[in-house]
């Protein structure tokens, strides 16, 4: 599983970080998401999928 981030679309809402803090952080200077883990383990799949759904800007995608 690989996380794809569209930084142009990201608006820095940080919803992703609230759903999966192991995978996402917020770069406060840039006001954009900071990807902590590019390929999360299967144990983080549920949280990572929730983060992708939670993004209001549709800036996150998962690839298997
Ligand atoms: S929820 Fe979406 S818009 Fe908000 S910080 Fe995460 S990737 Fe960016």
pLDDT of 6 = 98
Enumerate residues 6+ apart whose C-beta is below 8 A from 22.
Answer: 36, 37, 40, 44, 47
Q: What letter would DSSP give residue 46? A: H
Whole-prediction pTM: 0.95
Q: What is the pLDDT of residues 3-61, one digit of tens each?
A: 999 999 999 999 999 999 999 999 999 999 999 999 999 999 999 999 999 999 999 99
40 touches 48 (CB < 8 A):
yes
Residue nearest to atom 1 of ligand 1 (CA): 55
Beta partners for residue 54, in sequence order: none
Whole-number Å distance, alpha carbon 1 to ligand 1 midpoint, is 19
pLDDT of 13 = 92
Domains located in the chain, CATH noted: 2-63 (3.30.70.20)
55 touches 64 (CB < 8 A):
no
Whole-number Å distance, alpha carbon 24 to ligand 1 midpoint, is 9
pLDDT of 30 = 96
Q: What letter would DSSP give residue 48? A: H
């Amino acid at each position: 599983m690989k996380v794809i981030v569209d930084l142009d679309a990201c608006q820095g809402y940080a919803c992703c970080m609230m759903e999966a803090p192991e995978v996402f952080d917020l770069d406060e200077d840039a006001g954009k998401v900071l990807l902590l883990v590019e390929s999360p383990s299967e144990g983080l799949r549920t949280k990572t999928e929730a983060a992708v759904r939670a993004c209001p800007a549709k800036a996150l995608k998962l690839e298997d």
